[in-house]
Amino acid sequence: MPRALPEPSIDSFDLTVILGALAEPGRRALMTELYRSPEPVDCAIIVETAGLGLSSPTISHHYRVLREAGLISTVAEGRKRIVNVRRDDMEARFPGLLNAVLGDEAQSPGR
């Protein structure tokens, strides 16, 4: 049975925490790949696509930091983790931030 992992509410988003999460190159690369996908994706597929060459514990840490900052939501389905960028929440709280940080090249199709 799928279960959502804890994430902050929109009201508790902290710009400093969000920018800190995005400042690390590995996390920013993960976010860029996630941002390109209009649909939720298996986090393992994104790691393969991004080709970061990081260890599994490091990747897990990056996903946790991004989730705790409020940038992504994660649903656990057995051993699989489905990840989605919280686009609408981020846009409601900090309009234009994701595009400004990730750049136009990360724009997902049709956005």
Pair of tokens at residue 24: 């690390």
Tens of pLDDT, residue by residue, the chain (111 residues):
889 999 999 999 999 999 999 999 989 988 998 898 889 998 877 766 667 777 778 888 999 999 999 999 999 998 899 999 999 999 999 999 999 998 765 554 444
Within 10 A of 83 (CB to CB), how many other CB atoms are there?
Answer: 24
Pair of tokens at residue 97: 């931030």
| CB 54, CB 26: distance < 8 Å | yes
Residue type at 101?
Answer: V
As a whole number of angstroms, the distance between CA 54 and CA 9 comes to 29
Domains of the chain: 3-100 (1.10.10.10)
- pTM of the model as a whole: 0.87
Q: In terms of Cα–Cα distance, which of 45, 54, 56 is closest to 80?
A: 45
